[in-house]
Amino acid sequence: MGEPLILALDQGTTSTRAILFDGAGRALSQAARPLAQSYPRDGWVEHDARAIFADSVAVLREALATAGREAREIAALGITNQRETTVVWGKATGEPIHPAIVWQDRRTAEACDRLRAEGLEPKIVEDTGLLLDAYFCGPKIAWILDAVEGARGRAARGELLAGTIDAWLVWKLTGGAVHATDATNASRTLLMDLEAQRWREDLCEIFAVPERVLPEIRDTAGSFGETLPGLLGAPVRICGAAGDQQAALMGHGCIRAGGVKATYGTGCFMLLHTGEAAPRSSARLLTTVAARVQGKATYALEGSIFIAGAAIQWMGEGLGVAGGPRAVEALAQRARPAHGVVAVPAFTGLGAPYWDAEARGAIFGLTRDAGLPEIAEALFDACAYQTRDLIEAMRADAPQALGPGAVLHIDGGMASSEWFARRLADLTGLSTAPAADPETTALGAALFAGIGAGVFGSLEIAAGTPKSTGMLKSRLDDEARAEGYARWRDAVSRTLSALGGASR
């Protein structure tokens, strides 16, 4: 059959991509289609699940055609997906009964508030590792069952199925033969017992989700059936599935306690691998499944920065800096040394460890000789300082996992800048390792599928495939770093609302 080839399907919030990898993790071809979002009401975000499936098949076909390969040559298909986005569909018809509710959607916030008022959040955090929030899948399923006429009756009769995007795609690709999800996606539902790795009857009752609509929970690397022959020209085995951030963790080769990665896009997702331990966070970080291979689960702490690349984008849109992120970076590199300007880009509040939705952005330390270069550098520095906030929270929650010699693996648009990667190392004190392959998430999905298909003999062998562009060490002395971080924390304290995280 020649060299092993692995297809990765990366179904994201704004696009659907397929990438064909060889056994060494090199991308041979790729295809992509944009995904439209709809906003039927304030705070509501929806996707067309039918379009997601159609686009998925289209990009898989295109990636094969571009490489001049056929489906029969493919050893495995791996799926990675936008997490928490939820679909409910008819078991007999295969048709969604409502548009997919996207992870950003806030329509179930009031339902979560009611459960919080009943004192249920501590139990939910302990059982699931997650916060009680509209972000997650369980409340979305319940909302659809209540909103669509007759849906609860159909669910009770076993006529409906539900799941995250991976489960929807697996079911459609296999022609309804497999209704399954992997443990990383299941851990984002508020319905799965984090340690037992099974749906919890009491959690399903709390969120009014019939357990019979939920998919089977399977290993991240393992069998999810095979695609219908007519879709790609021949059946292809689906041998892996993972949520996008966990796939990126794998794409960086972070498979043991202490491995940490940060993905810098509009915001930033940071995950610290904690091994077989699943610590609950004192800073309201999330505890989530990192992967489950051969029935063995490993875990990660996860923190989010609401505004990362979006702050750089704001320089262009809000302050009229033309030329995109590179132009803003060029400005930042012209900033005067020790200018003292600090920016807190709390455009939509602050996440962990502050958790203040009412905080708003501000710029401090402006003088007559401060200008756009100083503001630009302060916005890049804000991304680094927010990363350090998460690092400090993770160190407090898992001191054994994140030691002083840890390396921060980074990917996403901002990670392609060596200047930012060096700035990140200077201000956090951790060495940074930018990913050599920008498609880290898809690579992680391919590696999991390769394990499931036997292309890689072990998790360790697969984890040796990813490469970085090299390690960048901090050049800033401890005293200067501490002074800068103190200024940042002081600036943040001034942006917090009266009822913000600092007073809780």
Q: Is residue 491 part of a domain?
A: yes
Q: Which domain holds residue 493?
A: 312-390+477-503
Helix orientation angle between 109-117 and 121-128, rounded to the nearest 10 degrees: 110
- Count of other CB atoms within 10 angstroms of residue 308: 28
d(CA 340, CA 85): 41
Please report, rounded to a whole number, the percentage of residues in the chain having pLDDT higher than 90: 71
Q: Is residue 405 part of a domain?
A: no
| 362 in the same domain as 485 | yes
Whether residue 503 is predicted with pLDDT greater than 70 in this model: the reply is no
Q: Is residue 410 part of a domain?
A: no
Q: Is residue 462 part of a domain?
A: no
413-426 pLDDT, tens digit per residue, is: 888 889 999 999 99
| 364 in the same domain as 225 | no
The whole-number average pLDDT for the span 382-390 is 95
Average pLDDT, the chain: 91
Whether residue 350 is predicted with pLDDT greater than 70 in this model: the reply is yes
d(CA 48, CA 22): 32
Q: Which residues contact 9 (CB under 8 A, 6 or more apart)?
A: 16, 17, 18, 56, 59, 60, 77, 78, 79, 80, 169, 445
| 165 in the same domain as 23 | yes
| 342 in the same domain as 239 | no
> Count of H helices and E strands in the chain?
17, 21
- Is beta strand 260-264 parallel, antiparallel or unpaired with respect to 198-199? unpaired
Q: Is residue 65 part of a domain?
A: yes
The whole-number average pLDDT for the span 316-327 is 86
| 337 in the same domain as 201 | no
25-46 pLDDT, tens digit per residue, is: 889 999 999 999 899 998 898 9
**What are the φ and ψ backbone dihedral angles of 455, each rounded to 5 degrees?**
-65, -40
| 125 in the same domain as 41 | yes
d(CA 269, CA 390): 10
- For residue 103, the model assigns a pLDDT of 86
Q: Which residues contact 207 (CB under 8 A, 6 or more apart)?
A: 115, 138, 139, 141, 142, 190, 191
Helices (H), 120-200: 121-128, 137-147, 151-156, 165-173, 183-186
Single out the residue of 387, 400, 411 nearest to residue 474, CA to CA: 387
Residue type, 99: P
d(CA 240, CA 225): 10
Q: Among residues 244, 270, 299, which one ends one of the domains?
A: 244
- For tokens 């059959």, name the residue: 1
d(CA 344, CA 230): 52
- Count of other CB atoms within 10 angstroms of residue 90: 14
Longest dimension (CA), the chain: 70
Per-residue tokens: 410: 């980074």
| 27 in the same domain as 150 | yes
| 347 in the same domain as 232 | no
- For residue 498, the model assigns a pLDDT of 54
Whether residue 208 is predicted with pLDDT greater than 80 in this model: the reply is yes
- Is beta strand 15-22 parallel, antiparallel or unpaired with respect to 27-34? antiparallel
- For residue 402, the model assigns a pLDDT of 76
Whether residue 504 is predicted with pLDDT greater than 50 in this model: the reply is no
Which of 171-185, 430-444, 446-460, 470-484 shows the highest mean pLDDT?
171-185
Whether residue 337 is predicted with pLDDT greater than 80 in this model: the reply is yes
| 222 in the same domain as 123 | yes
SS3 65: helix
The whole-number average pLDDT for the span 222-231 is 96
| 373 in the same domain as 230 | no
Dihedral sign, Cα of residue 213, residue 143, residue 48, residue 313? negative
Whether residue 164 is predicted with pLDDT greater than 50 in this model: the reply is yes
Q: Are 190 and 128 within 8 A, CB to CB?
A: yes
Higher-confidence position of 464 and 192? 192
Residue type, 67: A
- For residue 468, the model assigns a pLDDT of 67
Alpha-carbon distance values, 408 to 77, 116, 265, 411 (Å): 29, 35, 16, 10
d(CA 470, CA 455): 27
| 128 in the same domain as 33 | yes
> What domain count does the chain have?
2
**What are the φ and ψ backbone dihedral angles of 61, each rounded to 5 degrees?**
-65, -40
Per-residue tokens: 145: 């069952």
Using 50, 70 and 90 to split pLDDT, how confident is the model at 134? Answer: confident
The whole-number average pLDDT for the span 336-344 is 92
Helix orientation angle between 324-332 and 418-428, rounded to the nearest 10 degrees: 50
Q: Among residues 244, 268, 284, which one ends one of the domains?
A: 244
* DSSP structural state of residue 208: T
Per-residue tokens: 42: 């304030």
d(CA 165, CA 324): 32
Q: Is residue 430 part of a domain?
A: no
Per-residue tokens: 420: 């930012």
Q: Is residue 303 part of a domain?
A: no
Q: Supply the CATH number for residue 486's domain.
A: 3.30.420.40
Q: Are 176 and 207 within 8 A, CB to CB?
A: no
Using 50, 70 and 90 to split pLDDT, how confident is the model at 197? Answer: very high
The answer, yes or no, to whether the previous bond of 353 is cis (omega within 30 of 0) is yes
177-186, 226-235, 287-296, 464-473: the lowest-pLDDT one: 464-473
Q: Is residue 283 part of a domain?
A: no
Q: Among residues 202, 229, 244, which one ends one of the domains?
A: 244
| 69 in the same domain as 206 | yes
| Virtual torsion, Cα 475, 478, 482, 484, nearest 10 deg | -30
Using 50, 70 and 90 to split pLDDT, how confident is the model at 466? Answer: low
- For residue 227, the model assigns a pLDDT of 97
